[in-house]
Amino acid sequence: MANSIQEYLQVISTVREYVEEQMQLGFTEILDPEHSKLTEVDYNQLRQEANGCKKCELHATRTNVVFGTGNENADLMFIGEAPGRDEDEKGEPFVGRAGQLLTKVIEAMELTRDKVYIANVIKCRPPNNRNPKHTEIESCEPYLIRQIELIKPKVICALGTFAAQMLLRTEAKISALRGHFHEYRGIKVMPTYHPAYLLRNPGGKREVWEDMQKVMAELNLPIP
Ligand code: URA
């Protein structure tokens, strides 16, 4: 079937508009939509894909991609914000001071880090721990979405404002979101305070423990 010159010009102008819009958003590469969906890849392929990722500028300053760690069939998945310096150095999420506190919370639940799964929304460290940019979140989101699809947790614990707002597509504050279950694609989501917040505000530990008790009840785990 022949297409008229007018139709070709229309396609070119639509593509041009799309590319200009992406540039205005800060992208320096055009993502192949099929590639970024990652719908077919298994866990190891996904990890490999993330390890080689150059979809945003954070690849240039990272030491390691911090993909995620723990049980790939976990019922409980913790999702934080982004790696800090310690995590970037080790390539493992939550290994710094905030991570040690998260480990204590997990152990207080009579679980271990290798029984749950721990990941972040952003897989590479933002320089000087600045907030991730909108374009970085957008580039990185498909990895987390596929990770959740593969792990199929029964409960997700969203650590802090950033993970909770991203998963639940809301701008509500963490203080309003925490304490009760929400839903992400049929999975129960319990937002709670980020361990880094607890380091600055130890009084929040009581609320986090209340939230974790609800998570344990949902998973039929004994409450210590
Ligand atoms: N804070 C996070 O959100 N994630 C980490 O991995 C470490 C600190």
- Residue type at position 95: V
- pTM for this one? 0.85
- The low-confidence residues of the chain, meaning pLDDT below 70, are 1-2, 22, 25-37
The angle subtended at Cα 217 by Cα 214 and Cα 220, nearest 5°, is 155
Cβ contacts of residue 79 below 8 Å, gap of 6+? 119, 120, 121, 144, 156, 157, 158, 159, 163, 167
Kindly give the number of the ligand 1 atom that is closest to the alpha carbon of 163.
3
The residues lining ligand 1, judged by C-beta closer than 6 Å to any ligand atom, are 80-84, 87, 93-94, 96, 98-99, 120, 196
Residue type, 206: R
CA-based radius of gyration for the chain: 19
Residues forming a β-bridge with 155: 76, 188
Centre of ligand 1 to C-alpha 97, Å, is 10
CB 22 within 8 A of CB 30: yes
151 CA → ligand 1 middle, Å:
19
Å from CA of 19 to ligand 1 middle: 33
CA–centroid distance, 79 to ligand 1, in Å, is 9
CA distance 85 to 121: 16
